[in-house]
Amino acid sequence: MTRAERAEFVHRRLAELYPETPIPLDHRDAFTLLVAVLLSAQCTDERVNKVTPGLFALAHTPERMQALPVEEIRAAIRSCGLAPRKARAISELSRILVEIHDGQVPGSLAALEALPGVGHKTASVVISQAFGVPAFPVDTHIHRLAQRWKLASGKNVADTERSLKTLFREESWNKLHLRIIFYGREHCTARGCDGRVCEICRTLFPARKSPVRTKKA
């Protein structure tokens, strides 16, 4: 198969496997999604979903969040990795949203990436899932699978994002990035598949003999 043919098979098969694409992080609106995605850095979605109900019971708007002492935010999210740093970022970004954005989460990458603790991936998730703007956030699962399926070189996350955006139609990005994550967690895991085990790897590369060594995100 050519790279384009592999991309077409991946797109079609993942749509069959995952017709619905629910957002894995529980949230109410753009602000709670932003906070949840920020918390998910070096932390599982499952853990975040256990932490956020308590945090959002204390404050679920920028106005209320900025009024909380940082120590109280940190206590609510302490089981997430990097809790002190994330607590400061949540407090500060909430203040900025109130003072600069009228308490609203901005719908542009540039404005989101200017917020404390918000990198390109976090901003891409928020604009795609909260605002419907086409984006292709690349996490560790997507970076790994793109290499196993030879859709990207694995040079770095930015290169993987550019490659996938070139291969797939823009209107498919928002659902497709979630479908790849779902498949990576369920079938083509870091240890459960080495590029020769799961259905898609076997279909794309039936003659592959050696494990695929992937570069980390």
pLDDT of residue 217: 78
CATH superfamily name and code, 30-131: Hypothetical protein; domain 2 (1.10.340.30)
User: CA 36 to CA 88: how far, in whole Å?
Assistant: 14
C-alpha angle 45-50-56 in degrees, rounded to nearest 5: 105
User: What digits encode the pLDDT tens for the residues 53-77?
Assistant: 999 999 999 999 999 999 999 999 9
pLDDT of residue 216: 86
Q: Which tokens belong to 61?
A: 């708007």
Domain 3-20+136-204 has CATH 1.10.1670.10: yes
pLDDT of residue 137: 96
Q: Provide, rounded to the nearest whole percent, the portion of the chain with pLDDT above 70.
A: 100
CA-closest candidate to residue 212, choices 121, 137, 149: 149
Number of residues assigned to the chain: 217
User: CA 12 to CA 27: how far, in whole Å?
Assistant: 29
Domain boundaries, the chain: 3-20+136-204, 30-131
From its phi and psi, is residue 166 left (phi > 0), alpha (psi between -120 and 50) or beta? Answer: alpha
User: What digits encode the pLDDT tens for the residues 66-106?
Assistant: 999 999 999 999 999 899 999 999 999 999 999 999 999 99
The residues annotated with a catalytic role in the active site are: 121, 139
Per the prediction, the chain carries an average pLDDT of: 97
CA dihedral 46, 47, 49, 50 (to 10 degrees): 120
